[in-house]
Structure 1
Amino acid sequence: MQVGVIMGGDSMEREISFMTGNEVIKNLDKTKYEVVPIPINTRFQLIDQIRDLSFAFIALHGEFGEDGKIQAMLETMHVPYTGCGIFASALCMNKIMSKIIFKNCAIETPGWIHIKLDVYNSYEDKNLFMKDFNLDKKFFPLVVKPNKGGSSIGIFVVNTKEELLNSIDLSFKFDKDVIIEDFIHGEEITVSVLNGEVLPIIGIKPEASFFNYESKYSKNGVEEKIISLPKTLHNKVKTIAETIWKEFSLQVYARIDMIISGGEIYVLEINTLSGMTENSLIPKSAKAYGIPFNELLDKIIEYSLMIDRY
């Protein structure tokens, strides 16, 4: 079977996409698949390259990767592909909509305030902006992040009003919608799910104040290891992950980031096209479950082919 590995793209996460794509190409079983690298610079050149593909392995990240757009293109052309479908991809890319659904499912998530670029720019007096959005009553630190995006690009932890306003300006360079979120002190964990099965949980201890871009993609930026939680807590984490899998209509594989604080579990976000580099979390979790990387790729393809998307 011919497998085209689509990588690159025009998002801010282009570099990470190539890292994922090259690792996938390296580890796909060449006795099973005819592997075709498909590096793209713009989305417009993709149509001719995927027209005759038997199967697409999506190694894109960010916009036109995780947001449902390439999934829609592939479905229109009847090319089967890896991972979540159009709806789940678009929904999980939108942090605000995800948080609203978390709350509707009685799943804890850090409190947040949604700021739109045009509204923010309408305030000449930023002190009035702070007051109108109740930011003058918030306790630092706070987290500022674009509504859409990944790899922690454009995310800032701030400790003062000046840092907050500067970080809002910077985050607006990545999106027209920005979230100001309560910073939750606690233990960061990530939960990988493969075809509905919750894999071993990974604890994350970044050198920085949070799991930022440098932590994710440098060898010494973070300590990541499989952890054993108390049974009651583990079962609660597992139940939350299974609920999210169902309510968000996730498929094939996904990764859910959480923080445990004071016995409460807060869900941060869902990653529908998590990285597949040597430092990536899903392969580490799968390996601890007894699934080596090349077999994980086989399973991703197998489970994806089982889905009737048309």
Structure 2
Amino acid sequence: MRIGVIMGGISSEREVSVQTGTEMINQLDRSQYEVIPILIEKRTDFLTQVQQAGIDFALLALHGQFGEDGTVQGALETLGIPYTGSGVLASSLCMNKHMTKMLLKTAGVQTPMGLYWQGIDDYDPQAVVQLGYPVIVKPNSGGSSIGIQLVKEEKELLPAVQKACSMSEAILIEPHLKGAEITCPILDGELLPIIGIRSMHSEWFDYHAKYEAGGAEEKVISLPPTIEQRVREAALASYRLLHCKVYARVDIILYQDEPIVLEVNTLPGMTANSLLPKSAAAAGIPYTQLLDRLIALSLHERMKEWGAFKE
């Protein structure tokens, strides 16, 4: 099978995507697959690059806009090329943090609620005062904590808003909840071992904590049974509600022992240091075997979806 590892792209997460793609290429079993690296530089080149590669299956290493938002998934469906992970709908929903929160709230899943501004014209510092400092300012789309800032007082607000607005058409401003940060990787609808996260040099799990060596302590943890059950229910409810398929990672903060869902990642990082591979390894699934499962599960999911569509 000719596997195209699609990486790079045009989003702010391009660097992380290349790291993910490189790790996938190194770990794929060459006895099963012919591996074709596909490095995306421009949106307009995507279809041509994929068609010229002549691949049978797309292993997506993309993150952020034009990769995790359903655009690439839709293009691949048009070409009839199966791909890893969630479909167009889930990808689009989860990339839009505001829409994700609205759906979670409607379903009774706890998630931070704050302000939603559709650009700098909505700037209203008094509304943030009413929300209460400190706050987290974040782009409505994107990931890897890029563009997300902790704002402790009003004088820091405008620069943070301007930066977030430069990266996304809309932004979110949420209360900064203090609590244990955890992440819940899900594979084929089953929760993998929960990982606890502690930033070593930052007040929260920012980009540097995520990707710099020694930036964070990340390890499988055991929670008290009642809390673990609530975490499990919140993570799986989010996964199902947003129509995620094959795999995802649900980020949660334990605030006063209650799980608060921060976001759902449909194409979580798969670098050597990423959280999902660490969790899978703790469940006895080494990286190469994890890739095999993602490919097999995704092929089954695409055939099921496309077969139903044809009928």
Normalising to structure 2: TM-score of the pair? 0.95
Residue 177 of structure 2 corresponds to residue 191 of structure 1: no
In structure 2, the CA distance between the partners of 1:41 and 1:188, relative to structure 1 (3 Å rule), is: same
Name the structure 2 match of 1:54.
Answer: 56
1:196-275 equivalences in 2 (<5 Å):
196-207=189-200, 208-275=202-269
Q: Any idea what the Cα deviations from partners look like across 1:263-282, whole Å, max 9, x if unmatched?
A: 21100000111111111000
Q: Following the alignment from structure 1 to structure 2, what is the Cα–Cα distance between the partners of residues 82 and 229?
A: 31
- The aligned residue for residue 126 of structure 1 is none
SS at match of 2:288: helix
Moved over 6 A (4+): none
Q: Which of 111, 114, 125 pairs up with 1:112?
A: 114
Hey, what's the Cα distance between the residues in 2 that align with 1:178 and 1:46?
A: 28
Count of residues in Structure 1 that have an aligned counterpart in Structure 2: 301
* C-alpha distance in 2 between matches for 1:118 and 1:190: 32
Corresponding residue for residue 309 of structure 2: none
State the match for 1:100 in structure 2. Answer: 102
Which amino acid in 1 is paired with 2:39? Answer: P
- The question of 1:169 aligning with 2:167 is answered no
Please tell me whether the aligned partners of residues 75 and 309 of structure 1 are also in contact (alpha carbons under 8 angstroms). no
- Once residues 197 and 136 of structure 1 are traced to their aligned partners in structure 2, the CA distance between those partners, rounded to angstroms, is 41
Contact 2:235/2:261 (CA < 8 Å) preserved in 1? no
Amino acid at match of 1:243: A
User: How far apart are residue 40 of structure 1 and its match?
Assistant: 1.4
3-state secondary structure, aligned to 2:20: helix
Question: What SS does structure 1 have at the residue aligned with 2:167?
Answer: coil
Indicate the SS of the match to 1:103: helix
Q: Which residue matches 1:160?
A: 153
TM-superposed deviation, 1:111? 2.1
Partner SS for 1:232 = helix
In 2, Cα distance between the equivalents of 1:101 and 1:69?
Answer: 21
Instruction: Say if 2:249 and 2:264, in contact at 8 Å, map to a contact too.
Output: yes
AA in 2 matched with 1:197: E
- Note the 1:11-22 alignment, pairs <5 A: 11-22=11-22
Per-residue Cα deviation, 1:270-302 (whole angstroms, up to 9, x for no partner): 011111111100000000001000000000000
| Percent of aligned pairs sharing the same letter | 46
- Point out where structure 1 has 5 or more consecutive residues left out of the alignment: 124-128
Separation (CA, whole Å) in 1 of partners of 2:257 and 2:21: 38
Aligned residues of 2:165 and 2:171 also touching (Cα < 8 A): yes
Letter in 2 for 1:63: Q
2:5 is the alignment partner of 1:5: yes
Matched position secondary structure for 1:306: helix
Residues 143-162 of structure 1, C-alpha deviation per residue, up to 9 Å, x if partnerless?
00000011101000010101
Cα 1:277–1:305 change in 2 (3 A) is same
Q: 1:294 matched to which residue of 2?
A: 288
Q: Which residue of 2 aligns with 1:309?
A: 305
Whether the 8 Å CA contact 2:120–2:162 is kept in 1: the answer is no
Cα distance per residue 1:39-87 (max 9 Å; x no partner): 1101221212222310000111111110000000000110000000000
Query: How many Å apart are 1:136 and its aligned residue?
Result: 2.3
Between the aligned partners of 1:151 and 1:221, the Cα distance in structure 2 is 14
Tell me which protein shows more helix as a share of its residues.
Answer: 2
Maintained 8 Å contact 1:66/1:93: yes
CA distance in 2, matches of 1:289, 1:130: 46
| Alignment check: 8 A CA contact 1:55 1:80 kept | yes
1:183 offset after TM fit, Å?
0.7
The residue aligned with 2:271 is: 277
- CA shift, 1:118, in A, is 5.5
1:85 paired residue among 84, 87, 91? 87
Unaligned runs of 5+ in 2: 307-311
Contact 1:188–1:258 under 8 Å retained in 2: yes
3-state SS of 1:173 partner: helix
Cα separation, 1, equivalents of 2:267 and 2:199: 21
> 2:194 corresponds to which letter in structure 1?
I
